[in-house]
Amino acid sequence: MTFVQAWTTDSGASAGTTGTVTVSGATANNLLVAVVACRFGEEPFTTPSGWTLLESGDGSDGAGATYYRVASGTSADNFSPSWTNTARYKLIVCEYSGLDSTPVMEDSGQTLNMSSDVDTIGTGSATPATADGKAIAFFACAWDFLSPTIDGGFTVNQNLASDQSFRPGAAIASVDYSSTSPISATWTKLSGSGGPAFGAIAVFKDAGGGGGITGTSAITLDDVTTTSTGGLAIDASATVTIDDITTASAGELAIVATASATLDDITTTGTGVSSNSGSAAIVLDDVTASSAGSLLISGIAAATLDDVTSDSDGTSQSTGTAAATLDDVTSSAAGELAIAGSSASTLDDITSDSAGKVSITGASATTIDDITTDAVGASANTGSASVSIDDLTTTAAGALQIRGSSAFSLDDFTVDALGGETPPVHPAYYYYTMLLGA
């Protein structure tokens, strides 16, 4: 808990049987504590409406009492105690945030000496039921116990000093605790002759202190909701959410039944790991995996890695009508650099037929540089197709010959249209004989 603010009332030289502290601006559900210090005689106190008495004591020279309440944030928070005999008085109210209201207060104690002068006064002892909370110490004196200090690590939150003879003084201090050991402290006068005094202490649990909840209550810490058992776990059908992780009622980072958890772009099934069962799917960046939880696909699903499309076996190949593409290479469903059916594969300027080789079936054709092959895939032609290599033209039979009226030339070697050879002779003579038709 944290100290927030304080309000005070000092009667000064006046005396009365009642006093009021106007508490304005308190936050609803915060803790309010109060102390009353009175001068003269036995002073039976009447507890203000809405407040709870912690400790009180009186003697022949003065009296003191302590109270607490949970703030409402309204005028009902005003503190108006009363007592039997007319007396000078001092009143203090302090506010603290971070209270666990179940229960509000766990223990309290006091030490009383209001019938003789003392230089010190103890607070008594209080024992927390659970660890983590705020111990609050109270002080009241009849006179001359000026500006008291306190040990035990306590910090004085508000002090109304007994700065004149026969005027009371009051103070409130606090300290955090983190164990269930008994807590006590001692108030000591800073100056003056000392006087009759009263000390008290109470322990209040922080919100969430002790790490457990009993009964049917539930507590929420940030995005973690625990059940009434008080641990970071869930029973029955409750669920807990931590950031983007949703767990089922087992309370662990896992999912049961039909629940699911999402971490970034990874969706897991009810097994709580990075895998899928049934028809669920998992997505990692641009990779889509099947329900087996690996980087593969079953059934008709498909996975894509960059420009590679794989079939349902999860490898870089396709089945059925599926196809895989690697850059400018299109492969058939067999998963190799081949084409089946009417599909075709292209590598740079080479066009292959559906058999997956550099060949052509049917009426298709492939071109390699300036060489045109026929449909059987060799450097030959069938039917009316033809192939050209530089200045050499072959007939459809694919041999280095010419049929019909066509002709071809290899340097000084000329073959006529019937495919016959003429021995190399002087070019002029051979040309002459060709003109004569010899």
Q: Are 130 and 209 in contact (CB under 8 A)?
A: yes
Contacts of 185 (CB under 8 A, 6+ apart): 122, 123, 137, 150, 151, 152, 154, 173, 175, 201
| Res. 192 pLDDT band, cuts 50 70 90 | confident
pLDDT of residue 395: 53
Average pLDDT, whole number, for the chain? Answer: 69
| Res. 254 pLDDT band, cuts 50 70 90 | very low
pLDDT at 135 over 90: yes
Closest CA to 29 of 60, 66, 1, 9: 1
Please report where in the chains the tokens 């997505």 appear, as a residue: 283
Question: Could you tell me what percent of the chain has a pLDDT over 90?
Answer: 36
Closest CA to 188 of 248, 119, 277: 119
Q: What is the pTM of this model?
A: 0.51
Of the ranges 165-174, 245-254, 404-413, 428-437, which is most confident?
Answer: 165-174
CA–CA dist 329, 343 (Å, integer): 12
More confident residue, 13 or 250: 13
pLDDT of residue 63: 92
pLDDT at 263 over 60: no
Q: How would you label 300-336 residue by residue, b for 16+ Cβ within 10 Å and e otherwise?
A: ebbbeeeeebbbbbbebbbeeebbbeeeeebbbbebe
Mean of the pLDDT values across residues 284-310? 46
pLDDT of residue 75: 96
Closest CA to 213 of 101, 85, 52: 101
pLDDT of residue 165: 73
CA–CA dist 103, 256 (Å, integer): 35
pLDDT of residue 195: 85
Q: Are 402 and 410 in contact (CB under 8 A)?
A: no
Mean of the pLDDT values across residues 11-26? 94
pLDDT at 9 over 60: yes
pLDDT at 312 over 70: no
Q: Tens digits of per-residue pLDDT, 276-292? A: 444 545 454 444 555 55
pLDDT at 97 over 90: yes
Structure tokens at 79: 């503190």
Of the ranges 40-44, 149-153, 356-360, 387-391, which is most confident?
Answer: 149-153
Q: Tens digits of per-residue pLDDT, 218-240? A: 545 444 444 443 444 444 444 54
3-state secondary structure the chain: CEEEEEEEEECCCCCEEECCECCCCCCCCCEEEEEEEEECCCCCEECCCCCEEEEEEECCCEEEEEEEEECCCCHHHCECCEEEEEECEEEEEEEEECECCCCCCCEEEEEEEEEEEECEEEEEEECCCCCCEEEEEEEEECCCCECCEECCCCEEEEEECCCCCCCCEEEEEEEEECCCCCEEEEEECCECCCEEEEEEEEEEEECCHHHCCCCCCCEEECCEEECCCCCCCCCCCCCEEECCEEECCCCCCCCCCCCCEEECCEEECCCCCCCCCCCCCEEECCEEECCCCCCCCCCCCCEEECCEEECCCCCCCCCCCCCEEECCEEECCCCCCCCCCCCCEEECCEEECCCCCCCCCCCCCEEECCEEECCCCCCCCCCCCCCEECCEECCCCCCCCCCCCCCEEECCEEECCCCCECCCCCHHHHHHHHHHCC
| Res. 53 pLDDT band, cuts 50 70 90 | very high
Instruction: Give the residues across from 107 on adjacent strands.
Output: 203
State in Å, rounded, how far the first CA of the chain is from the last one. Answer: 125
| Res. 193 pLDDT band, cuts 50 70 90 | confident
More confident residue, 247 or 12: 12
The DSSP line for 150-181 is E-TT-EEEEEE---STT--EEEEEEEEE-SSS
Please report where in the chains the tokens 């625990």 appear, as a residue: 226
Mean of the pLDDT values across residues 135-151? 90
pLDDT at 87 over 60: yes
pLDDT at 31 over 90: yes
More confident residue, 32 or 368: 32
